[in-house]
């Protein structure tokens, strides 16, 4: 049986070890441990594996509060001390910047999350049925659905509602969608929560508009302790949450509030996952912008979603533009502009890079919050021409961030500050804000 010394945690959540000239990346293994491993994949230089047995245990390994760990793919570090998770994330960001971008500078200490559990404001559960009905998350490295009874990183109300929904689907014998045969109806159960209003939204995603026993289903679901129920009709097998929707109970939107600004969030729109960390990120950017005397300057918010940053920072600027590919999100951004009585913000449905390409104007300040893939070479090239003063880059992936920062610093940007925020406790994921100046 193969044994390995684990040296440190790396991007992807793996414990890193070396043996016989090869690099080992091991799931559920922590620094200073000796583990017996099962090999999952063996390439020329890298071996991927998982811990079969801990021979020598780290003093920072703790017992998991989750019954489904490590089988579930949702968390990687739920059995590791929280202060050590924070330390590992700080080191991962530093290491990716040094390795990929050759940036070796002091970075601000990472902002921990007040909530280590129950912090998620949205959970997307898949539904499957072979012998029995399952509502849950994917098993690690698999498309198999793991039936979930409780998920410690989501609010307790989500567990209560999901488990009751399972009983209702079973009792009413509502057909579950099968991805192979393309037959059946129910695909996903999604729960969202507004932390500032303490309101819960239940979203039922189906393959088609017609739901067998719809009236009975509505009637039973309306008895649940949720404030709104939405029926989303989604024929796509690639994306969980999109398509037209109907409101079966309550409001068709969630309301969230930050420092007096009110946001409507439609059922199918993206919003930051951890309310308290989002609030800290807004304040961090505000601390930078406030002393800048920006009242005659312009702000461009790329990948703006429902207008979180555009709305929040609009009082500081003369002119604000927000750009987002999703029509539903832009409709919400315009609603958010109106409910906050803003006159200086305009929103556009467009691809961010194409918008930059076509825009004849430069912008004094640009905020970007791109998807995990980052900007890429073309995006970096365009941005560096379009921004006059500062670029605020919000990233959820340290490696694509490092790649883009390398390009931006080569184009003459200076990094003013780098600060990470623990948006996702118990996972290896980390949010980082980099402020760059021309």
**What is the Rg, in whole angstroms, of the alpha carbon atoms belonging to the chain?**
23
Catalytic residues: 396
pLDDT value for 2: 80
Q: Which top CATH class is 98-113+273-437? A: alpha beta
SS3 assignment, position 428? coil
pLDDT tens-digit series, residues 236-263: 898 899 999 999 999 999 999 999 999 9
pLDDT tens-digit series, residues 68-89: 999 998 999 999 999 999 999 9
Spatial separation of the C-alpha atoms in residues 53 and 34, rounded to whole Å: 9
pLDDT tens-digit series, residues 156-200: 999 999 999 999 999 999 999 999 999 999 999 999 999 999 999
In the chain, domain spans: 3-61, 98-113+273-437, 122-257
Spatial separation of the C-alpha atoms in residues 26 and 39, rounded to whole Å: 9
pTM (2 d.p.): 0.95
CATH of domain 122-257: 2.40.50.1070
pLDDT value for 130: 87
Strand partners, 431: 421
Query: Is the CB of residue 104 less than 8 Å from the CB of residue 40?
Result: no
For domain 3-61, give the CATH superfamily. Answer: Nucleic acid-binding proteins (2.40.50.140)
Q: Is the pLDDT of residue 408 over 90?
A: yes
> Does 98-113+273-437 match 122-257 in CATH topology?
no
């Amino acid at each position: 049986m193969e044994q390995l010394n684990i040296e440190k945690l790396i991007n992807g959540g793996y414990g890193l070890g070396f043996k016989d000239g090869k690099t080992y990346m091991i799931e559920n293994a922590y620094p200073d441990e000796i583990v017996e491993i099962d090999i999952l994949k063996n390439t020329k230089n890298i071996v991927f594996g998982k811990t079969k047995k801990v021979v020598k245990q780290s003093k920072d390994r703790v017992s998991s509060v989750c019954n489904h760990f490590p089988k579930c793919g949702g968390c990687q570090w739920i059995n590791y001390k929280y202060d050590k998770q924070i330390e590992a994330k700080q080191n991962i960001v530093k290491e990716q910047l040094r390795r990929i971008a050759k940036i070796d500078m002091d970075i601000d200490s990472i902002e921990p999350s007040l909530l280590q559990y129950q912090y998620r404001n949205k959970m997307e559960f898949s539904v499957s049925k072979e012998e029995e009905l399952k509502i849950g998350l994917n098993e690690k490295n698999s498309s198999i659905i793991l039936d979930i009874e409780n998920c410690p990183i989501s609010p307790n109300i989500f567990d209560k509602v999901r488990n009751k929904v399972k009983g209702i689907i079973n009792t009413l014998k509502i057909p579950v969608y099968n991805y192979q045969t393309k037959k059946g109806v129910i695909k996903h159960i999604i729960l969202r929560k507004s932390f500032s209003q303490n309101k819960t939204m239940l979203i039922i995603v189906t393959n088609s508009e017609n739901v067998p026993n719809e009236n009975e289903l509505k009637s039973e679901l309306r008895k649940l302790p949720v404030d709104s129920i939405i029926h989303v009709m989604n024929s796509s097998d690639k994306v969980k949450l999109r398509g037209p929707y109907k409101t079966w109970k309550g409001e068709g939107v969630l309301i969230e509030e930050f420092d007096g600004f009110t946001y409507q969030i439609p059922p199918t729109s993206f919003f930051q996952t951890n309310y308290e960390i989002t609030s800290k990120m807004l304040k961090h950017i505000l601390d930078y912008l406030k002393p800048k005397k920006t009242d005659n300057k312009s702000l461009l918010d790329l990948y703006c979603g429902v207008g979180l940053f555009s709305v929040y920072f609009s009082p500081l600027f003369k002119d604000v533009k927000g750009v987002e590919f999703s029509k539903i999100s832009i409709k919400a951004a315009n609603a958010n502009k109106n409910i906050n009585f803003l006159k200086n913000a305009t929103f556009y449905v467009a691809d961010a890079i194409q918008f930059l390409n076509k825009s004849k104007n430069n912008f004094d300040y640009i905020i970007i919050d791109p998807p995990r893939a980052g900007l890429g070479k073309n995006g970096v090239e365009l941005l560096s021409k379009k921004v006059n003063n500062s670029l605020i880059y919000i990233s959820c992936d340290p490696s694509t961030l490092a790649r883009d920062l390398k390009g931006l610093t080569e184009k003459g940007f200076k990094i003013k500050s780098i600060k990470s925020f623990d948006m996702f406790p118990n996972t290896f994921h980390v949010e980082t804000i980099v402020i760059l100046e021309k």
